[in-house]
Amino acid sequence: MWDLREAAEVLEAELLRPKAPYEVRGACADSRRIRPGDLFVALRGQRHDGHDFLDEAFSRGAVGALVSRDPGVGHNLLLVSDVKKALWDLARWRRESLEFIAVGITGSFGKTTAKELLAAALATTYRTFCAPESYNTEIGVPLSLLSVPPKTEVGVFELAESDPDELRRLCELLQPWAGMITAVGPAHLALLGTVEKAAEAVWTLAEALPEEGVLALSWDFPELRARVERCDGFCLRFGQSLEADFFPRDIVDDDPRGVKFVAETPAGAVPVELKLLGAHRAVLACGALALAWGLGVPEKIAAKAMAEVPPLPHRLELRPAPFGWVLDDCFNANPVSMQAALRTLARLRLPVKVRAALLGDMLELGPEEALFHRAVAEAARRFGVDLLFAFGPRMSAAFSAFGGPGLAEPGDLSRLVSAVREALGSGPALLLVKGSRGLALERVVEELSRPKEEEESQES
pLDDT tens digits, residue range 109-140? 899 999 999 999 999 999 999 999 888 999 99
With contact defined as beta carbons under 8 Å apart, do 358 and 408 qualify? Answer: no
pLDDT value, residue 45: 82
Lowest mean pLDDT among 152-156, 314-318, 380-384, 449-453: 449-453
pLDDT value, residue 460: 45
pLDDT value, residue 193: 58
Q: How far apart are CA 144 and CA 191, in angstroms?
A: 25
Q: Are residues 281 and 325 both part of a single domain?
A: no
Residue ending a domain, among 279, 306, 333, is 306
Q: How far apart are CA 120 and CA 302, in angstroms?
A: 8
Does some domain include residue 210? Answer: yes
With contact defined as beta carbons under 8 Å apart, do 24 and 37 qualify? Answer: yes
Burial of 9 (0-12, 13-18, 19+ CB in 10 A): exposed
pLDDT value, residue 314: 94
CATH for 65:
3.40.1390.10
Q: Are residues 391 and 420 both part of a single domain?
A: yes
Q: Which residues pair with 324 in a beta bridge?
A: 321, 429
pLDDT value, residue 197: 84
pLDDT value, residue 286: 98
pLDDT-derived band at 231 (thresholds 50, 70, 90) equals confident
Lowest mean pLDDT among 232-236, 339-343, 451-455: 451-455
pLDDT-derived band at 159 (thresholds 50, 70, 90) equals very high
The single-letter code of the amino acid at 419 is A
N- to C-terminal Cα distance for the chain? 51
Torsions phi, psi for 342 (to 5 deg): -65, -40
Query: Has residue 16 got a pLDDT over 70?
Result: yes
Q: How far apart are CA 184 and CA 187, in angstroms?
A: 8
Torsions phi, psi for 259 (to 5 deg): -85, 145
Structural domain count, the chain: 3
- CA neighbor of 291 nearest in space, from 102, 153, 441: 102
Q: What is the mean pLDDT of the chain?
A: 93
Does some domain include residue 353? Answer: yes
Q: How far apart are CA 434 and CA 430, in angstroms?
A: 13
Does some domain include residue 151? Answer: yes
DSSP reduced 3-state for 327:
strand
Q: Are residues 351 and 372 both part of a single domain?
A: yes
Is the N-terminal amide bond of 21 cis, ω within 30° of 0?
yes
DSSP reduced 3-state for 297:
coil
With contact defined as beta carbons under 8 Å apart, do 265 and 295 qualify? Answer: no
| pLDDT (tens digit per residue) in 407-422 | 999 999 999 999 999 9
pLDDT value, residue 346: 97
Does some domain include residue 352? Answer: yes
Residue 52: its H or E element? none
Q: Are residues 429 and 337 both part of a single domain?
A: yes
Measured CA distances, 363 to 136, 193, 245, 316, 394 (Å):
18, 13, 34, 19, 9
Q: Are residues 249 and 210 both part of a single domain?
A: yes
Q: Are residues 111 and 219 both part of a single domain?
A: yes
Q: Please, what is the angle between helix 111-122 and helix 280-294, to 10°?
A: 40
Q: Are residues 105 and 254 both part of a single domain?
A: yes
pLDDT value, residue 187: 58
Q: Are residues 333 and 193 both part of a single domain?
A: no
pLDDT-derived band at 161 (thresholds 50, 70, 90) equals confident
Residue ending a domain, among 53, 85, 117, is 85
Instruction: Give residue 82's Cα distance to chain centre.
Output: 28
The single-letter code of the amino acid at 95 is R
Q: How far apart are CA 331 and CA 68, in angstroms?
A: 32
Q: Are residues 207 and 339 both part of a single domain?
A: no
Higher pLDDT, 199 or 9: 9
Does some domain include residue 90? Answer: no
Q: How far apart are CA 165 and CA 151, in angstroms?
A: 31
Q: How far apart are CA 98 and CA 96, in angstroms?
A: 6
Lowest mean pLDDT among 79-83, 223-227, 269-273: 223-227
Round the CA-based radius of gyration of the chain to a whole number and report it: 23
Does some domain include residue 311? Answer: no
Does some domain include residue 312? Answer: no
Which residue range is the domain that position 51 belongs to? 2-85
Q: Are residues 454 and 385 both part of a single domain?
A: yes
pTM: 0.92
Determine the average pLDDT of the residues in 86-102.
96
Lowest mean pLDDT among 160-164, 254-258, 362-366, 397-401: 160-164
Does some domain include residue 393? Answer: yes
pLDDT-derived band at 458 (thresholds 50, 70, 90) equals low
Query: Has residue 457 got a pLDDT over 60?
Result: no
pLDDT value, residue 368: 87
Q: Please, what is the angle between helix 299-306 and helix 111-122, to 10°?
A: 120
- Give the contacts of 78 (CB within 8 A, at least 6 positions apart): 4, 7, 8, 11, 13, 14, 15, 16, 39, 64, 65, 66, 67, 86
DSSP β-ladder status, 23-24 and 2-3: antiparallel
pLDDT-derived band at 294 (thresholds 50, 70, 90) equals very high
By percentage, how much of the chain surpasses pLDDT 70?
Answer: 96
With contact defined as beta carbons under 8 Å apart, do 220 and 237 qualify? Answer: no
CATH for 251:
3.40.1190.10
Q: Are residues 138 and 30 both part of a single domain?
A: no
Residue ending a domain, among 27, 54, 85, is 85
Q: Are residues 357 and 280 both part of a single domain?
A: no
> Got the DSSP string for 303-322?
HHHHTTPPPPTTSSEEEEET
Measured CA distances, 73 to 36, 45, 83, 173, 312 (Å):
17, 20, 17, 32, 36
